[in-house]
């Protein structure tokens, strides 16, 4: 199918049936020679081709010039694989050819993910409808998923859909949290149920504060204030800062919340808290249910 698609670019009337893969490859080389053209054939998800075809397909592509040593090299190959370990399943000859020019690409950084998202926002959204802190929240979430750009784009798309559903003029952090919950439901009911009383109270305060605002992050001080209000509502004596900090660390380890140091713009040094994987409204609902409210 790949070879046929390339040939049809040069010869739209080329028969679509009746040729083997090897015959198609030879036909392609003939077309390239006749038109004095060059093709760089880039195959994404090469893993799938290797699993489906084994060595044969790649062997043919990498050896197509062996019988044409005098002719101009008109076909070059770039393969994109997620895991180079899969190359070990190929025969030694093909493997040595492919591994001769191997470029390792690391996972996307936060800056690169943000560049990708900004490009998609410019193409798909009206001006000034996606807040910078909304993109920051998506970027943080995607960076924690091994820098997965597809996941970041999926979150952006779903967050936009939730904004449409809410008739919102902007894509807000809460829309991102809803999107993340639908794509990657991390916070399960049994996780919430297993928390201690004051962990639940602290988390309820955080959820309510996020629900009441369009913020993507809360400072530790804001979280403590929200927790104090919840303790008063439930008739519980609030815990001190040191104990609350332990709660934050435990909730972060469970991936219920995420924490990061504040930026230079804020006065003093504090910890910023976000809810990356669950909507504030859904978390408040679940916590209120377990607390018997």
Number of domains in the chain: 3
- Residues 39, 124 within the same domain: no
Q: How many residues are there in the chain?
A: 293
Domain membership of residue 105 (yes or no) is: no
Q: Report the pLDDT value the prediction gives residue 190, as an integer from 0 to 100.
A: 67
| Mean pLDDT, rounded, of the chain | 86
- Residues 280, 226 within the same domain: yes
Provide the domain limits for residue 236.
189-290
- Residues 72, 114 within the same domain: no
Transcribe the chain into DSSP letters.
-HHHHHHHHH-TTS-SSS--HHHHHHHHHHHHHHHT--EEEEESSHHHHHHHHTTHHHHHHHSTTGGGSSS---EEEEE--S-GGGGGGS-HHHHHHHHTT----PPPPHHHHHHHHHHHHHHHS-TT-B-HHHHHHHHHHHHHTTT-HHHHHHHHHHHHHHHHHTT-SSB-HHHHHHHHHHHS----HHHHHTS-HHHHHHHHHHHHHHHHS--S-EEHHHHHHHHHHHHHHHT-PPPPHHHHHHHHHHHHHTTSSEEEE--TTSSS--EEEE--SS-HHHHHHHHHHHTT-
- Residues 284, 206 within the same domain: yes
- Domain boundary among the residues 183, 215, 236 is at 183
- Domain boundary among the residues 75, 99, 123 is at 99
Q: Given CA atoms 284, 285, 291, 293 in this order, what sign does their dihedral have?
A: positive
Transcribe 196-264 into DSSP letters.
-HHHHHHHHHHHHHHHHS--S-EEHHHHHHHHHHHHHHHT-PPPPHHHHHHHHHHHHHTTSSEEEE--T
- Residues 216, 283 within the same domain: yes
175 near 159, Cβ under 8 Å? Answer: yes
Q: pTM value? A: 0.59
Written as tens digits, the pLDDT of the chain (293 aa) is 888 989 999 989 888 888 888 899 889 999 999 999 999 999 888 887 787 777 888 888 877 776 655 568 888 889 888 877 777 888 887 877 776 788 888 889 999 999 999 999 999 999 999 989 999 999 988 888 778 898 899 999 999 999 999 999 999 999 998 888 777 655 566 677 788 899 999 999 999 999 888 888 899 999 999 999 999 999 999 999 999 999 998 888 877 888 888 764 555 567 899 887 778 888 888 898 888 75
For 49-104, the pLDDT digits (tens) are 787 777 888 888 877 776 655 568 888 889 888 877 777 888 887 877 776 788 88
- Domain boundary among the residues 53, 69, 99 is at 99
- Residues 208, 239 within the same domain: yes
SS (H, E, C) 196-209: CHHHHHHHHHHHHH
CATH of the domain at 249: 1.10.10.10
Domain membership of residue 7 (yes or no) is: yes
Q: Report the pLDDT value the prediction gives residue 40, as an integer from 0 to 100.
A: 93
The Cα 55–Cα 186 span in angstroms is 39
Domain membership of residue 243 (yes or no) is: yes
């Amino acid at each position: 199918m790949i070879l046929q698609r390339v040939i049809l670019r040069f010869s739209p009337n080329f028969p679509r049936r009746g040729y083997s893969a090897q015959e198609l490859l030879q036909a392609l080389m003939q077309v390239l020679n006749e038109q004095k053209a060059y093709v760089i054939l880039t195959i994404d998800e090469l893993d799938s081709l290797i699993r489906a075809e084994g060595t044969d397909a790649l062997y043919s592509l990498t050896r197509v010039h062996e019988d044409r040593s005098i002719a101009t090299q008109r076909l070059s190959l770039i393969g994109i694989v997620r895991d180079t370990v899969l190359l070990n399943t190929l025969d030694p000859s093909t493997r040595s050819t492919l591994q001769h020019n191997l470029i390792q690409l690391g996972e996307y950084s936060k800056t690169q993910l943000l560049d990708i998202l900004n490009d998609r926002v410019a193409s798909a959204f009206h001006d000034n409808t996606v807040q910078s802190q909304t993109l920051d929240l998506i970027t943080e979430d995607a960076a924690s998923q091994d820098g997965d750009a597809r996941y970041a784009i999926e979150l952006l798309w779903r967050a936009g859909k939730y904004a449409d559903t809410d008739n919102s003029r902007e894509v807000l952090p809460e829309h991102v949290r809803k999107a993340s919950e639908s794509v990657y439901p991390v916070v399960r009911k049994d996780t919430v149920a297993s928390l201690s009383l004051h962990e639940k109270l602290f988390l309820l305060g955080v959820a309510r504060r996020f629900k009441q605002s369009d913020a993507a992050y809360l400072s530790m001080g804001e979280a403590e204030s929200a927790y104090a209000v919840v303790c008063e509502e439930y008739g519980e004596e609030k815990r001190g800062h040191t104990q609350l900090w332990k709660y934050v660390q435990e909730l972060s380890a469970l991936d219920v919340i995420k924490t990061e140091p504040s930026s230079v713009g804020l006065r003093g040094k504090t910890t910023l808290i976000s809810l990356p994987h669950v909507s504030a409204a859904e978390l408040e609902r679940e916590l209120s249910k377990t607390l018997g409210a």
